[in-house]
Amino acid sequence: MVAVPSQEALVSSKANRKDSKGRPLWKGESERKSENRYSYAYTDTMGSRHYIYNKDLMELRKMEDKLHRDIQDGIGIYGSGKETINDTFDRYLETKYNLKMSTKSGYIYTYDHFVRNGFGKKKVKDVIYSDVLQFYKKLIEDDGLAVATVDSIHCLLHPAFQMAVRDQLIRLNPTDNAMAEISKLADEGEKKFALTPEQQKNLMSYLHSSPKYFHWWPIFTILLGTGCRIGEAVGLRWQDIDLENESINVNHSIGYYADYKTKKSAYHVDCPKTASGIRIIPMYSVVREAIDILKDEYDEYGPVTQEIEGYTDFIMRNRFGNIVNPQGMNKNIDRIIGSYNEDESRKAAREHRNPVYMPHFSCHNLRHTFITRLCEVETNLKVVMYIAGHHDIKTTMEIYAEATERRNKETVTTTDKDISYLFR
């Protein structure tokens, strides 16, 4: 504990000294005329002398009162109030002993990239709610981050600050309800979207007929025909494929990321975070066709020789004979979309019509597209939930609601003439 004089001692010392305005100075207080400010001195249990300053005596005493309350509550003892957000986050992360390496590496990357060299240098005790709001707004408005990315950052800061509350470094968590407030800035355009049936058909027809991109058709077919996450898809091995029963056993995924200890990037095998991630997906006939093409490649070129943490015999290969890098798939998608839109522009000019461009999307949009198509034809949400590998049925219900809303609009559009004539 810090040695702080009692209120009785403070009162008894009022008449001893006065400032230049004739006001009594309490014990520990001094007027520094040359600096045009007042100071308050106290000594901690280690014998170290500390000072707080203010140009106004009354404001200084407010600071003294807060100091007394903090000490009585045990707040501010750790690090003598000098602990930064970075210190707190690092201590928090060390307490998470059961984190998977991929998760921990992701946490560290996100924090180091967006927090550590700026906001993270602030002292924990000085951070207030409005500071957090301003930081989050800056990330969105100035740095161009998606609200979902800021939410990921919030999910690191909030528990770290909560630990500081429990350690009695601060009274309140300044990040409480900050994300709920900042979410109002979300742009509707950032919502996850599914390709329309027309867009999906155009994309797959383009890949199937393109000599340059046909080798991507089997991979896109598996993504759009199973709803696998990209790491799950590229991690599929031949032993996970049951051709006789036409099913796919999803039981792990492949990630490419930096080890949080060595900082070197490498492939890693990750197990599902929840039991719902392990599932057996029935094959659509078109998925079977795609797998047969991959099997022909296997018979012609041999197995993928790459071994990742004991896992071998992957069904997907790149042009170099290795597995497809999950981290690079979105770049491949961007190239395909760019070529598609260039071809569409030329074709539309020849046909004297407006071009219908393919929107930019990611691997996750392909998964979202599959689940949307499934929701359009399957009313049993538990079936959709199982095939998608959702842990929470609320996620399934949200996609089902979106799919139903779109189908309702399409139904009204297609039946408009049949219904409207009854009113004339």
DSSP state letters, 274-302: SGGG-EEEEPPHHHHHHHHHHHHHHHHH-
Average pLDDT, the chain: 84
Cα-based torsion angle of the residue sequence 290, 295, 301, 306 in order, rounded to the nearest 10 degrees: 90
Beta bridge partners of 30: 39
CB atoms within 10 A of CB 150: 24
Q: Quick one: pLDDT at residue 284? A: 95
- Dist CA 173 CA 163 (whole Å): 9
Q: What is the pLDDT of residues 28-83, one digit of tens each?
A: 899 988 778 898 887 754 556 777 888 899 999 988 887 777 666 555 544 456 78
Low-confidence ranges of the chain (pLDDT < 50): 1-15, 45, 77-79, 187-190
Which CATH code of 3.30.450, 3.30.160, 2.30.29, 3.30.379 fits the domain covering 7-73?
A: 3.30.160
Q: Quick one: pLDDT at residue 47? A: 59
Question: Which of 350, 314, 145, 338 is CA-nearest to residue 240?
Answer: 314
- Ranges in the chain annotated CATH 1.10.443.10: 197-410
Q: Quick one: pLDDT at residue 12? A: 42
- Ranges in the chain annotated CATH 3.30.160: 7-73
In the sheet with 29-32, reading across from the earlier edge strand, the strands are: 29-32, 37-43, 49-54
Q: Quick one: pLDDT at residue 273? A: 66
Maximum distance among all Cα pairs of the chain, rounded to whole angstroms: 99
Structure tokens at 306: 């790459």
Q: Quick one: pLDDT at residue 147? A: 77
197-410: what CATH class?
A: mainly alpha
- Dist CA 130 CA 138 (whole Å): 12
Q: Quick one: pLDDT at residue 13? A: 45
- Dist CA 168 CA 71 (whole Å): 10
CATH for 85-190 is 1.10.150.130
CA end-to-end span of the chain: 87
Q: Which residues contact 162 (CB under 8 A, 6 or more apart)?
A: 173
Q: Rg of the chain over CA atoms, in angstroms? A: 31
DSSP designation for 100: -
The pTM assigned to this predicted structure is: 0.62
Query: For tokens 């099913």, what's the residue?
Result: 247
- Ranges in the chain annotated CATH 1.10.150.130: 85-190
Q: What is the pLDDT of residues 218-264, one digit of tens each?
A: 999 999 999 999 999 999 999 999 999 999 999 999 988 776 666 67
